[in-house]
């Protein structure tokens, strides 16, 4: 079996926390460029240009794209032929988050739900762990800001409402969110599974690169329809009016129970941050 | 796009009344940071009949929790947080003289009514442009509630800090107008 020391995991998570918060992905920058071409509102266009400038400053000066450097969400895939040595995997990830948020001058935004006392080091980390074939470990760090997360919802629809019911729920959610989640947003949609799975499907949909096609043609068509309808709402960049309310809609779907049609909408602000590494 | 209006706090009733939705404003001078936890403490002080940690008359509160400053800098990234969470507290602060709020996202009717009654205005800054916004912040000093970390109240010295009027004293709302104009 291939051995990986957990200190490698800590170091990787640390670096990914810093990099994801200061280096906006090329796919997002390309989506901004396309949005600048498409936006008809002068204010909207001006805002999009400032977002490009913001990303440049963050990258060059090594400061966060957004002050809300998020709850650290870490997706880990461990190959079943890997043996992790040297300690506790989850603690190693938490340690990486602690180091990354301290050494990267990132904001610590995690607190007790009632007392609101800050934990001081941005832990605990939200960890999604999966065992996969192979002898590698993949780590994805996806810091998630509170503003757009607050606009996200899970619902259990009646199967009778069908695909139209799903579309209505998604569009209505974006409409009601208005300026709050920092549009232009990326809309992650999960359909099917159980209550918790549908939320995770929506979250994972946000990790797919912008501009990539959904491999399922049915879902690709649904994404396009939702994207077009959302961009008729008029919310626009920062909600100040315009065509580009969302940069993309990404849908993940799995089978559901015969009694259920679960749907989740996970809204992602334009600071769509995630970085990954394979060890 | 029209030229920006330059303002320095404290703002007078006349300053506020002259502003209309869509106006671009550049603030130079001191503004105060405050978000969820600080707002709760401020309104608790008012209810207890105690003094606030700064003179609020004519001032502007910026809804922000900056990321930590790298050495040699005033702040890290410093863009606005979503404003509706401060709606429960904002009218009380306007009653005590607050003239401006900077954030992002729509306000509720109580806040809009209080802006008309007490002569105050709500501005939007660009959410998620924290690195860019920080370029106009020249100094930051914690003046209260250091224990709140990113949520402590800071006095920021800003130079041509760019914002846009979203709600004016006449009850107008730029978010509503913008959507009306561009919805298909």
**Cross-chain Cβ contact B67/A53 below 8 Å:** no
- Is B51 labeled as catalytic in the residue annotation? no
**pLDDT band at residue B1 under the 50/70/90 scheme:** low
- What is the C-alpha to C-alpha distance for residues A57 and A69, in angstroms, rounded to an integer? 16
Dist CA A164 CA A191 (whole Å): 13
Q: Both tokens of residue A168?
A: 């209505």
**B43 pLDDT higher than 70:** yes
Mutate which: A56, A69, A117, A238, vs B, most B CBs within 10 A: A238
In this prediction, residue A22 carries a pLDDT of 98
pLDDT in tens, B132-159: 999 999 999 999 999 999 999 999 999 9
SS3 A33: helix
For residue B129, the chain A residues in CB contact (below 8 A) are 50-51, 54, 66
Contacting residues of B for A273, CB less than 8 Å apart = none
**pLDDT for the residue numbered B4:** 94
Q: How many helices (H) and strands (E) does chain A have?
A: 8, 10
**B131:A61 CB<8 A:** yes
Contacts of B164 in chain A (CB under 8 A): 43, 240
Catalytic residue among B21, B32, B39, B123: B39
Q: Does A41 touch chain B (CB under 8 A)?
A: yes
- Classify residue B150 by its DSSP letter: G
Polymer length in residues for chain B: 184
Gap between the Cα atoms of A168 and A226, Å rounded: 9
Q: How many angstroms separate the CA atoms of A90 and B169, rounded?
A: 52
Q: How far is Cα A112 from Cα A115, in angstroms, rounded to an integer? A: 6
> Given this model, what pLDDT does residue B3 score?
83
Chain centroid offset of residue A246 CA? 14
**Mean pLDDT in chain B?**
96
A112 close contact with B: CB closer than 8 A: no
d(CA A32, CA B49): 50
What token pair was written down for A91?
């603690």
One digit per residue, the tens of pLDDT, for chain A of length 279 reads: 899 999 999 999 999 999 999 999 999 999 999 999 999 999 999 999 999 999 999 999 999 999 999 999 999 999 999 999 999 999 999 999 999 999 999 999 999 999 989 999 999 999 999 999 999 999 999 999 999 999 999 999 999 999 999 999 999 999 999 999 999 999 999 999 999 999 999 999 999 999 999 999 999 999 999 999 999 999 999 999 999 999 999 999 999 999 999 999 999 999 999 999 999
How far is the C-alpha of B159 from the C-alpha of B24, rounded, in Å? 15
CA distance A42 to chain B (A): 8
A252 touches chain B (CB under 8 A): no
CB A89 within 8 A of CB A9: yes
Q: Which residues of B touch A145 (CB under 8 A)?
A: 128
Taking CA atoms, A38 is separated from A52, A247, B133, in Å, by 15, 11, 25
Are B84 and B56 in contact, with CB atoms under 8 Å apart?
A: no
Spatial distance between the Cα atoms of A164 and B118, rounded to a whole number of angstroms: 46
Of A32, A40, A38, A34, the C-alpha closest to A242 is A40
pLDDT digits (tens, 9 = 90+) for B48-101: 999 999 999 999 999 999 999 999 999 999 999 999 999 999 999 999 999 999
Say if residue B7's pLDDT is above 80. Answer: yes
A108 contact partners, CB below 8 Å, separation of at least 6:
A101, A118, A119, A120, A121, A122, B149, B150
DSSP labels, A197-264: HHHHHHHHHTTSPTTPPPSSHHHHHHHHHHHHHHTTS---GGGSS-S-SEEEEEEEEEEE-TT-EEEE
Assembly ipTM: 0.94
Phi and psi dihedrals of A72, rounded to 5?
-80, 115
Among candidates A64, A120, A147 on the partner chain, residue whose Cβ is nearest the Cβ of B81: A147
The answer to pTM > 0.80 is yes
Residues of B in contact with A239 (CB under 8 A): 104-106, 175, 178-179
Q: What is the DSSP letter of A269?
A: -
What separation in angstroms does the CA of B74 have from each of A18, A135, B44, B129? 20, 46, 29, 16
A63 at interface of B, judged by CB pairs closer than 8 A? yes
């Amino acid at each position: 079996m291939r051995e990986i020391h957990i200190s490698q995991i800590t170091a990787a998570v640390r670096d990914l926390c810093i990099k994801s918060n200061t280096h906006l992905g090329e796919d997002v920058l390309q989506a901004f460029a396309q949005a600048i071409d498409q936006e008809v509102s002068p204010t909207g266009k001006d805002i999009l240009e400032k977002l490009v400038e913001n990303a440049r400053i963050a990258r060059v000066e090594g400061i966060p794209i957004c002050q809300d450097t998020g709850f650290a969400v870490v997706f880990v895939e461990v190959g079943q032929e890997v043996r992790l040595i040297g300690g506790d995997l989850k603690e190693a990830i938490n340690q990486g988050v602690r180091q990354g948020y301290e050494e990267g001058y990132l904001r610590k935004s995690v607190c007790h739900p009632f007392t609101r006392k800050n934990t001081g080091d941005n832990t605990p980390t939200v960890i999604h762990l999966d065992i996969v074939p192979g002898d590698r470990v993949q780590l994805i760090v996806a810091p998630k800001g509170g503003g757009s997360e607050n606009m996200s919802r899970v619902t259990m629809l009646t199967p009778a409402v069908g695909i139209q019911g799903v579309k209505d729920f998604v569009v209505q959610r974006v409409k009601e969110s208005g300026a709050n989640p920092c549009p232009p947003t990326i809309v992650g949609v999960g359909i099917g599974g159980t209550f918790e799975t549908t939320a995770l499907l929506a979250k994972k949909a946000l990790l797919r690169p912008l501009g990539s096609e959904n491999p399922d043609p049915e879902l690709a068509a649904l994404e396009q329809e939702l994207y077009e309808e959302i961009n008729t709402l008029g919310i626009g960049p920062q909600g100040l009016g315009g065509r580009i309310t969302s940069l993309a809609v990404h849908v993940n779907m799995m089978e559901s129970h015969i009694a259920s049609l679960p749907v989740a909408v996970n809204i992602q602000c334009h600071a769509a941050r995630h970085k990954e590494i394979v060890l | 796009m029209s030229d920006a209006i330059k303002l320095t706090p404290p703002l007078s009733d006349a300053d506020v009344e002259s502003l209309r939705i869509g106006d671009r404003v550049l603030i130079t001078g001191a503004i105060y940071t405050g978000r969820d936890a600080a707002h709760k403490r401020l309104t608790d002080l008012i209810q207890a009949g105690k003094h606030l940690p700064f003179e609020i008359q004519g001032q502007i509160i910026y809804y922000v929790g900056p990321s930590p400053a790298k050495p040699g800098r005033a702040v890290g990234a410093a863009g606005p947080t979503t404003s509706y969470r401060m709606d429960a507290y904002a009218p009380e602060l306007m009653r005590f003289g607050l003239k401006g709020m900077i954030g992002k996202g729509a306000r509720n009717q109580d806040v809009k009514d209080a802006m008309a009654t007490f002569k105050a205005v709500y501005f939007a800054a660009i959410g998620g442009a924290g690195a860019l916004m920080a370029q106009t912040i020249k100094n930051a000093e914690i003046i209260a509630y250091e224990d709140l970390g990113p949520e402590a109240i800071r006095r920021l010295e800003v130079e041509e800090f760019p914002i846009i009027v979203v709600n004016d004293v006449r009850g107008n709302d730029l978010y509503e107008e913008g959507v009306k104009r561009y919805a298909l």
